Structure 1
Amino acid sequence: MQVLTTARALELPDWLVFSGAVYQRVLNHLTGRDADYGIRDYDLGYFDPADISYEAEDLVIRRVAAAFDSPLKEMVEVRNQARVHVWFEGKFGEPYAPLTRTAEALTRFVSPLFAVGVRLEPDDALTIEAPFGLEDLFSMTLRRNPHRPTNGFPRTAASATARWPELVVAN
């Protein structure tokens, strides 16, 4: 909640906290593990197509870091989803078409189990973005994203099942 509350106060455009910050806490709850087990970072995405330069994103990264105390200062990783297509292929070797909003990034995650994002609204309501639904997450089923062919799924599945052996890997 601290990450969500601070992110809300930053008023970034079209922001979501997503990925491990969300699904790992659910898996930890379902398996009786400590809430922080396995969490290395908190992914905070926002969407600002006005300036997709690294310099503009770096200003936001610095602003976000200044809003948190340690250890969250080092754990919150913020990225402008409007510029992911600029660097993704160079880093991961797969093409990545430009996005139109932050929640669209979830449709490209390796597995539907990971594709969940949340935002804390001004009235304290949670907006949950889950383009594939929540069934895989709550049934602890790890399967390939049917819309994203990738060679990275076996590596991702091995890493996830090493931390949560209760996961069922479906092909």
Structure 2
Amino acid sequence: MTSDTSSPDVISDEQLEQEGDVAADFLEGLLDIADIGGDLAMDVRNGRAYVSIESDGDDSLKLLADPETVSALQELTRLAVQNRTDRFSRLILDVSGSRDARRRELESLVERANERLDDGASQASLPAMSSYERKLIHDIAADRGLVSESYGEGPQRHTVLRRA
């Protein structure tokens, strides 16, 4: 066993780049098997590896851009990374800008919740969503001066918004 003096929760940029490389290799193989074209890009930010698959002009990538498909593919990719690195991965996958599109949807969701609060509701509950989406909700809510808290367990975990 090797000794590591850093916190187990702190992952170096080098390790995150390794995660991105492993993820890219896995995804490239998967795209080849499925005969789907796409260009891969990697980035490290906010303590996470980000991998995106962008269209290379082939419309077949649209098959993977559905949010539920992206989420499932992200989980498979995380498992592949974990298998190769022996570390839990918090990698984020984006397919054809699906993350940006989802962020816009979440911004609209927070805006509608804000309108309910403007109409006198004491709080507004949002649907259950992934931890990444809840993190985005918390960020969006904070930008709008709202307080957000998550409640529930597992797949039922959801966010409630209220005024500060």
Shorter-chain TM-score above 0.5: no
For normalisation by structure 2, the TM-score amounts to 0.25
Q: Which has the higher contact order (CA 8 A, sep 6+)?
A: 1
Q: Which has the higher helix share?
A: 2
